[in-house]
Chains A and B, each alone.
Chain A
Amino acid sequence: MTRNAVPLVLTALLLPAAAAFVIGVVPPLRRSGRVAAWFSIACMAGAFVSAILGWAALDGATPVHVVWPWLPSANGPFATVGIFADAQSTTMLLLVTLVALLVQIYSTTYLHDEPSPALGRYYALQSLFAFSMMGVVLAPNLLQLFICWELVGVCSCLLIGYWYTKPEAARAALKAFWMTKLGDVGLLIGIVLLHRATGTFDLLELRAMAAAGGIPIDGLALITFCLYMGAAGKSAQFPLHVWLPDAMEGPTPVSALIHAATMVTAGVYLLARTDWLFALTPGVLAIVAWNGAFTALLAAILACVQTDIKRVLAYSTVSQLGYMMAAIGAGVAGAGFLHLLTHGVFKALLFLGAGAVIHAVHSNEITDMGGLAKKMPQTAIVFLVGTLSLAGVPLFAGFASKEEVLGAVWHGGFTVPFAMLLFAAFLTAFYMFRVVFLAFFGTKGHEGGEGHEGAHAHDAPLLMTGPLWVLALLAVTIGIYFTVNEPWHEFEAPHWLTYVAVTVALSGILLAYLTYQRRAISADALAAAFAPIRTAARRNFWLDDVFLGIYRGVLLTFARLVGWIDRYLVDGVLNVVSAWTLDAGDRLRRIQTGKVQDYVWAVGLGLLALMAWIGVAW
């Protein structure tokens, strides 16, 4: 059975690559826009079907590990390329292909006003991203993983900067690129150090070594910390999370695919994939758990003060990534991975729903919305499903996985992070329902906004609502499945956990209801009560300023110093040498009179000298 999984998984991996390549190198196809779009979607659909078949073919069987030699060296290949398909990676493959397919279909309508060449570029990048992400998921060794990891980073940068003529978008793209690069440097160092310590990049070999205790413990903490740095950059962990909210400058479908469902979870996936390695360094795992919980709480606080619907979702993504990291840090990678999967589904749903709203209202601000439930009922229903999932209400997707995460953290003995995560869960329910009540219920922020486009808002066409319904149904199905059948526990969860989690979620919803729907609690009074923290959150806890300060203070000063050295020391030496050469040439030039007889003199004297020399030599 496992044999025929290989071609299927390979097909899933290579179809989007082919699409990206063909759209990229055939200019008429790229410029045609819509044709390129449907070509890309057809390839993605093929990849999705292959992924399902591959997943089914592999189900329950032994993992498939197929590699081909790549870089030769004296004793066996130095590096290999190939695929490593097991239950974990094929499940992830399903998520990636499904969300990518839905997002590509959704984009045809969402971006229908775009010029054709730009649309062709968009779909080439989308396909390339899908390929790279699957490359990360299926990578059998860390080197291939790193290459694909960088590729997704490039695609992310280019897609954030899709509207590159907009200065904010171009800036956000660069910021995302450099902030993740900061982590990627750590990842690269970690991979190289690991290779030096063990002599292999291969995940299976490394796992076997780890199981046999063959990995030297000395310096391993540094290696795992470096790997975590890479994961923290990609998965937007504190303090490298600042790029993710800015990445919302990209088109909303891009945010749904890359900055919610797939790419940002690559870091979590990497840690889940190498959890046996991290298990050897409990100190680093504790950092992962604490930082994850802190990130979850910090981002949840930040999400409460945002007025841009996409930024709320972005911060909630950061927050949920913190949950996943915390679970992995607590030593239960399975819980983190489960939350990754459910989060991928319902967060993509939320983003695409937000996209439908933005598409209708032509504004990102929650204050410009209001009462949309009547005008766009379908969008409201699916958005509500996503919100309930994110809040962790029973029967919805996020419920079981969030409880798993909380249980894992409690089980790992991290009491304070557990409390932080619980409070973050309360805030999550609060800020998400704040969005729901402000945008979909109640009345519009400014009543005087007659003639505003929001007045004519209506549900999006089928190509946009279709993907929404698919994701919503999936979120409910997963939710009901896991609510009825408790997910398989790797640990003993405390029996009171479910009640606490549900109570916390419901109280968050209740607070949002009272504040923004019934107006029983004044939002202004609430804001005044938390004025200092609100001010700080509005400024993103000065993190952007800190980074800007580091940039200006350290980097620019260093750059100026290096510039001075280059200009005055390096260039100075060269300038002096060249001045001397010029001067010498100028002096030597004067002995050339241009008169034939002077040259004859020189020849004669030279002849004499030669003869004298020969005479002396004799």
Chain B
Amino acid sequence: MGLQAYLTLAAVVFCLGLFGTVTRRNTIGILLGIELMLNAVNINLVAFSRFHGGDAGMVFTLFAICITVAEVALGLAIVILLFRLRRTASADHVDWLKG
């Protein structure tokens, strides 16, 4: 299989993640969408690394995965706090970003 197949897979995963992020009402669902988008990027990095030679992409991906773990931990903590304050985990009821 060529590079193009991997890139297509990454693009599909990214779009799925974006769609989930935008449409899910549950904040945990949104977090899952974000995870998908990040993994799409990881697929891209690994694929380019594999086909162009050089290990930088692989190492970079390892770092990205670590950071993603930390991000998920933070995101879940926010969701829990949100639930405690609002008794809901739905994103529709949260508009605190409004100026």
Contact = CB atoms under 8 A, between A and B. Distances in A.
B97 A594 contact: yes
A600 B91 CA distance: 12
A592 B91 contact: no
Contacts of B18: 600, 604
A593 B95 CA distance: 7
Interface string A494-526: 000000000000000000000000000000000
A604 B22 contact: yes
A587 interface: no
Contacts of A599: 97
A118 B94 CA distance: 70
A601 B92 CA distance: 14
B22 A595 contact: no
B99 interface: yes
A589 B97 CA distance: 12
B98 interface: yes
Contact of B91 (A589, A596, A604): A596
Contacts of A600: 18, 21-22
A75 interface: no
A604 B30 CA distance: 14
A485 interface: no
Contacts of A593: 95, 98
A151 to B, nearest CB: 58
B96 interface: yes
Contacts of B97: 592, 594-596, 599
Contact of B94 (A592, A595, A601): A595
A597 interface: yes
B22 A601 contact: yes
Interface string B11-33: 00000001001110000001000
B91 A594 contact: no
Residue with the greatest number of chain B CB neighbours at <10 A, chosen from A595, A597, A601? A597
Q: Report, as a range, how many residues of chain A touch the other chain.
A: 10 to 19
Contacts of B95: 593-595
Contacts of B98: 592-594
Interface in B82-99: 91-92, 94-99
Contacts, number: 33
A595 B91 CA distance: 7
A593 B92 CA distance: 11
- Among B22, B23, B94, B96: residue with most chain A CB under 10 A: B22
Interface string A573-598: 00000000000000001001111110
B21 A597 contact: yes
A589 B99 contact: yes
Nearest to B34: A600
A592 B22 contact: no
Contacts of A596: 30, 91, 94, 97
A596 B91 CA distance: 8
Contact of A592 (B30, B92, B99): B99
A600 B21 CA distance: 8
A597 B24 CA distance: 9
A614 B61 CA distance: 27
A356 to B, nearest CB: 78
Nearest to A605: B22
Nearest to B27: A596
A596 B29 CA distance: 13
Contacts of B21: 597, 600
A608 to B, nearest CB: 10
Interface in B68-87: none
Contacts of A604: 18, 22
B40 to A, nearest CB: 13
Contacts of B23: 597
B96 A594 contact: yes
Contacts of A589: 99
Contacts of A601: 22
B6 to A, nearest CB: 19
A595 B25 CA distance: 11
A593 B97 CA distance: 8
5 contacts: A592-B98, A593-B95, A594-B95, A596-B91, A596-B94
Given A593-B95, A597-B23, A604-B18, 15 more contacts: A592-B97, A592-B98, A594-B97, A594-B99, A595-B91, A595-B92, A596-B30, A596-B91, A597-B21, A597-B22, A597-B30, A597-B91, A599-B97, A600-B18, A601-B22
Interface of A: 589, 592-597, 599-601, 604
